[in-house]
Amino acid sequence: MVELDDGRIMAFWFAGSREGAADVVIHSSVYNPNAMTWTEEKTVASRRQTQTDVHRYIRKLGNPVPARDATGKLWLFYVSAIGGWSTSAVNLTTSVDQGKHWSPARRLVTSPFLNLSTLVKTPPFFYQDGTIGLPVYHEMLGKFGELLRLDNSGTVVSKQRLSYGRQTLQPLVLIENEQDALTLMRYSGPPPRRARQVASRDGGKHWSAPEPSALPNPDSAMAGVTLADGSLLVVLNHNEVMRDELSLVSSNDQGRHWQVLYHFEDERGWRGRTFSVEAFAENTMRLIEKTDASIENSKAHVAAVRNTMCQGHPCRFQFDYPYLIQARNGIFHLLYTWNRAYIKHIQFNQAWLEARLSAVE
């Protein structure tokens, strides 16, 4: 998600017949906060078009992350791969007309190993000199986080290692102030499953060694923002086991302690229970109605969820891949994958957040 010049929110995601299919394209849609409506989805990048633009074979497309610079120009970084996700590379396309048209994509060169295995998932940010910080991660042989620095023409000018080894990915950079930043990373190693963290106290010149954070996480994606007072707000699956709940947590001491403010989703009660497809469908219907009572054709929605979440294994709930931004008017927008069938949009404001904070204190 990225906020446009006029305050509308533009979202990007990849979708197709299945993950990794050749028909997967990068979609976008624009949210009008006044009308509270999303536009029809539009294709921003396809496999074939990207392949033509970068003059090389591409098998599939993946994660997109957008950014908007001080001039209003939109930057969209997205993943393409020639095989599994470990063979990924990052492509860049830009728009100077608020996403109406996009430039031909070009390939970022980020790795000496055939330029393979660099992926994006978390939001880029801007350094004080206008250069872009792009958190990326590597997945071939090792799994580790890195930070690319791009100049205002989109050229990679430097990179920094945030972690190393085979267990950390998807770095989420939370900038607290001019000097301090905390980066959280998804941890894919053996239990105990705690997100990893590294910190910088010199404006990103150096980063500490990775260490376990106080955040439990079942090796799933996280999203977050820094509030005006420097405290941190993160959305994640706040448990070590499954993605069946999605929580909002906050820290006002640079990530040393976190408190759970809210559960956007919480289906942990179904864990370990054997339940029928019908029971799953019934609960899904309840969740859909709770999300939006005015939703039309809810039975079709339930059928779509059942198709994705009950295929080849017992039915389960899954709420993941959150993406959180705070708009200039202070409203928070959260998107996440809802049972791998839909994207759910939640917005909340500062007053609601403060009420949650005072409720837990």
- Contacting residues toward other proteins, per CB under 8 A: 48, 51-52, 55-58, 82, 106-109, 111-116, 138, 140-144, 146, 155-161, 164-166, 209
Torsion angles phi and psi, residue 300, rounded to 5: -65, -35
Rounded to whole angstroms, the Cα distance separating 129 from 126 reads: 8
Backbone angles phi, psi at 326, to 5 degrees: -115, 125
Q: Please, which residue, 39 or 155, has the CB nearer to other proteins?
A: 155
The nearest distance, CB 126 to other proteins, in angstroms, is 19
- Smaller CB distance to other proteins: residue 166 or 256? 166
- The nearer residue to other proteins, 33 or 189, going by C-beta atoms, is 189
Least distance between other proteins and beta carbon 282 (Å): 46
Q: What is the DSSP string of 286-306?
A: HHHHHH-TT-S-HHHHHHHHH
Nearest of 332, 349, 361, 342 to residue 297 by alpha carbon: 342
Question: Smallest distance from the beta carbon of 109 to other proteins, in angstroms?
Answer: 4
**What pairs with residue 14 in β-bridges?**
26
CB of 187 to other proteins, least distance (A): 15
Closest by CA to 47, choosing from 129, 124, 6, 105, is 105
Residue ranges with strand state E in 220-258: 223-226, 232-236, 245-251
Q: State in angstroms the smallest separation of the CB of 41 from other proteins.
A: 25
DSSP 89-127: EEEEEEESSTTSS-PPPEEPP--TTTT---EE-S--EE-
Q: Looking at beta carbons only, is 107 or 263 nearer to other proteins? A: 107
CB 14 within 8 A of CB 334: no
Residue closer to other proteins by CB (options 125, 164) is 164
CB nearer to other proteins: pick between 112 and 312: 112
- What is the Cα–Cα distance from 361 to 356, expressed in whole angstroms? 9
Nearest distance in Å: CB 101, other proteins: 21
Q: Please state the closest distance from residue 329 (CB atom) to other proteins, in A.
A: 38
**Closer residue to other proteins (CB): 27 or 143:** 143
Specify the 3-state DSSP secondary structure of 245: strand
Nearer to other proteins, 84 or 269 (CB): 84
d(CA 352, CA 349): 5
In whole angstroms, the minimum distance from the beta carbon of 150 to other proteins comes to 10
